[in-house]
């Protein structure tokens, strides 16, 4: 049948079955304390975080981890790496904490393996951070972070072809600088996130 289909130039269009994956049990989870309350009265009270995949070159992958402050929507820290591993997330949290000494925010994430690890839980406890996690399969629980990924990809990433990791990294740095300092938002009274933040401070 396959030979005759090839001769007749007939192609099968049935979707391939997805491989079955065994779900790993998370080491620890947290309650959804944020519960879609995306409003914050002041800076460094509520943070959301996530990791997204980007591509460059011949289908090579890079991973961007970021932390966003719900008060003004600013990106408090970000790290672009070659691997989606624990260290990527740990480094992002450390950068955010260095930029907000003495703060003890609520930190909301999905249930990715990095956020459910014992090491990450220890880091948050030492820093006085309260963890919150999305429910399984409910990406809208982390809506502001997903919204930022959409803006970054539509306004920068999808507009270019990146052949090298360094090119991609520079583009991400430029966009986040633009987003934080120059991208005016209606919900922030027509101010950029860091302008709005400066008023609050």
| pTM exceeds 0.95 | no
40-98 pLDDT, tens digit each? 999 999 999 999 999 999 989 999 999 999 999 999 999 999 999 999 999 999 999 99
Using alpha carbons, list the distances in angstroms from residue 3 to 7, 11, 14, 115, 184: 6, 11, 18, 50, 59
100-153 pLDDT, tens digit each? 999 999 999 999 999 999 999 999 999 999 999 999 888 899 999 999 999 999
With tokens 């090491």, the residue in question is 119
Q: Do the beta carbons of residue 62 and residue 93 sit within 8 Å?
A: no
Please name which of 68, 72, 165 lies closest in space to residue 108, comparing C-alpha atoms. Answer: 68
Return the ∠ at Cα 94 (arms to 45 and 37), rounded to 5°. 25
User: Positive or negative CA dihedral for 22, 84, 194, 189?
Assistant: negative
């Amino acid at each position: 049948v396959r030979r005759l289909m090839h001769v007749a130039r007939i192609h099968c269009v049935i979707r391939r079955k997805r491989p079955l994956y065994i779900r790993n049990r998370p080491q620890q989870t947290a309650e959804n304390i944020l519960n879609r309350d995306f409003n914050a009265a002041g800076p460094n009270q509520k943070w959301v975080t996530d990791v997204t995949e980007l591509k460059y070159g011949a289908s090579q992958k890079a991973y961007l981890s970021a932390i966003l402050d719900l008060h003004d929507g600013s990106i408090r820290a970000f790290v672009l790496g070659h691997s989606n591993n624990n260290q990527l997330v740990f480094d992002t949290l450390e950068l955010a904490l260095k930029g907000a000494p003495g703060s003890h925010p609520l930190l909301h994430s999905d249930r990715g393996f990095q956020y459910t690890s014992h090491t990450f839980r220890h880091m948050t406890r030492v820093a006085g951070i309260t963890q919150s996690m999305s429910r399984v399969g409910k990406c809208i629980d982390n809506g502001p972070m997903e919204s930022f990924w959409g803006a970054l990809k539509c306004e920068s990433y999808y507009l270019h072809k990146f052949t090298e990791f360094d090119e991609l990294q520079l583009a991400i740095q430029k966009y986040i600088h633009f987003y934080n300092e120059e991208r005016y938002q209606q919900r922030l009274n027509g101010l950029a996130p860091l302008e709005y933040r400066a008023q609050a401070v």
